[in-house]
Structure 1
């Protein structure tokens, strides 16, 4: 799998990334991870490296910090690995704690403390990319800019981005931040195809139910922001075991994907990811699996994107439930 510069920013990122949300065991911070959890992580990392994936996506909240800690132990055991990979992490979400609810915090103090925690857990002096995880309604761009300037100056973070944000959020932040925001990570997949629906349903009743920012995809392409997709395999609804609550559209889509995979002598995962990679925005899927064999099943995705015809792309979209019938 070929490395690509991350939307022209000189970062040799693989077309696919590994999402580390599921590593480190349970989300109970008092429950330690085990030797089996370590083996699971090692198997996924080795599988990823074997097919050219060099990008690993974290967040400070994943398994309440254990995902970063267990990854840090792997880096400590294999120190040469750090310079071979790209590490991205996120901050800004504070999980429910005691009587306090889930909340978002882009204060300078919280961002700086969060990064120090990330670096300590990972056992590294820097991370390649830091994302602001979800919009904070109380954010002050100038305060965020101060935190980013400090992190950049002391070498703790090389690049910055956001996650789950509209174009207006990005513009508001970028008005104060000197560093370019180079990534936006969003929920995108064949099952979560609002980014396609929104553009097709302009001035149509069907578009009223779509909440996706209509400017976002073209905005990010114009700004040369890397679009990352979390949940790109749609939690296995098209490629795994058929669920008892599967809809007719899901069943038909799974059958079509299986047929395409058989005809093209590839995996169902490669077909599903190929649909995303076919989009000209250069989407980078973030694989949220902890299964090494499923990582290996994705290795043909870029090739399938190149080979996928427009007819196959549209058939996948329509079969999954996409609305594209022309009106006036």
Structure 2
């Protein structure tokens, strides 16, 4: 495993994080094996959210920690809050209640990182900041970030905070690459030139906010993976071709595509299978050539101007 030093914190994080959304689908024994496989291969960041499995994902992780108490100091636990059934809620009351519930489920007295899961249109960001200050003062959360937010939303929240936000978690991969499309299509009258992200990738690089890429293998939450998908035959051909060259799986090549970007993006992988996780970890040792990176980008059907 290779690691990043996260600006404005004392965190040193693995280039891959284990996404724990589907942990609720596993038995205790399966979850324990997955977590220890992650640690064996150098992964030290475990990404949760209060809504994953309706809290069960955090609960089963907490049960593993309870059985293996020495594990806690070896890892970085991150969770998210702000989504309720049918609406978003980033009120002070909800954030504080959510963190307390997550701490109980996770069997820990502190979180290393808390993210606001999605922006809430009806909560003043000063209220979010107030909750962050309380949690930091009570030593329940060390560092804070956001998820699925644009640059202006981050700016508004940041102006109320004494400490820097360190993460923004966003959907990003070779298929869902809006942030890259914008870079190439400046001042050009085509659909790819439409700025859908608020220049968020460049903004994060300027402001030392580390991007965490969620669903690195998914077209979208509803369409599933692009691996072996009939709509992405050329992409899959390239993934297999490059994978054969480096001796890694097509999925690992897809992760290596994200890691190749100079923004030092952390990739959140959500597999529940130890064997698949071991394959994905191999991506950190591969640096795609510039030609390979562009070939993969173009194989989706994109064009350079």
**TM-score using structure 2 length:** 0.94
Give the equivalent residue in structure 1 for 2:11: 11
Deviation at 1:7, TM superposition (A): 3.7
CA contact (8 A) 2:151 2:200 kept: yes
Give the equivalent residue in structure 1 for 2:269: 287
Pairing 1:227–2:211 present: yes
Deviation at 1:313, TM superposition (A): 0.5
Pairing 1:65–2:55 present: yes
Structure 2 Cα separation of the partners of residues 140 and 122 of structure 1? 29
Give the equivalent residue in structure 2 for 1:20: 20
CA contact (8 A) 1:17 1:285 kept: yes
Give the equivalent residue in structure 2 for 1:98: none
Moved more, 203-212 or 152-161: 203-212
Deviation at 1:49, TM superposition (A): 1.0
Q: What 5-or-longer segments of structure 2 have no aligned partner?
A: none
Give the equivalent residue in structure 1 for 2:297: 317
Structure 1 Cα separation of the partners of residues 261 and 192 of structure 2? 24
Pairing 1:262–2:216 present: no
CA contact (8 A) 2:18 2:268 kept: yes
Deviation at 1:179, TM superposition (A): 2.0
Deviations 1:130-151, CA, capped at 9 Å, x for gaps: 0000000012122112111110
CA contact (8 A) 1:108 1:143 kept: yes
CA contact (8 A) 1:3 1:52 kept: no
For residue 148 of structure 1, the aligned residue among 132, 152, 159 is: 132
For residue 48 of structure 1, the aligned residue among 38, 51, 59 is: 38
Deviations 1:256-286, CA, capped at 9 Å, x for gaps: 1111111222222221111100101101000
- Aligned residue for 1:181, secondary structure, equals coil
Deviation at 1:186, TM superposition (A): 0.1
Tell me the number of residue pairs that the alignment of Structure 1 and Structure 2 aligns.
301
After superposition, the CA RMSD in angstroms is 1.6
- Aligned residue for 2:22, secondary structure, equals coil
Structure 2 Cα separation of the partners of residues 17 and 208 of structure 1? 30
Structure 1 outlier segments of 4+, above 6 Å = none
Deviations 1:209-266, CA, capped at 9 Å, x for gaps: 7453242111100111010000012277454xx34xx21xx11111111111112222
Write out aligned runs for 1:299-310 (5 A). Answer: 299-304=281-286, 306=287, 308-310=288-290
Structure 2 Cα separation of the partners of residues 149 and 93 of structure 1? 20
Give the equivalent residue in structure 2 for 1:188: 172
For residue 72 of structure 2, the aligned residue among 74, 82, 89 is: 82
Distance change (3 Å), C-alpha of 1:16 and 1:206: same
Structure 2 Cα separation of the partners of residues 228 and 121 of structure 1? 24
Deviation at 1:208, TM superposition (A): 5.8
- Aligned residue for 1:290, secondary structure, equals coil
Structure 2 Cα separation of the partners of residues 144 and 313 of structure 1? 39
Q: What 5-or-longer segments of structure 1 have no aligned partner?
A: 26-35, 96-101
CA contact (8 A) 2:16 2:268 kept: yes
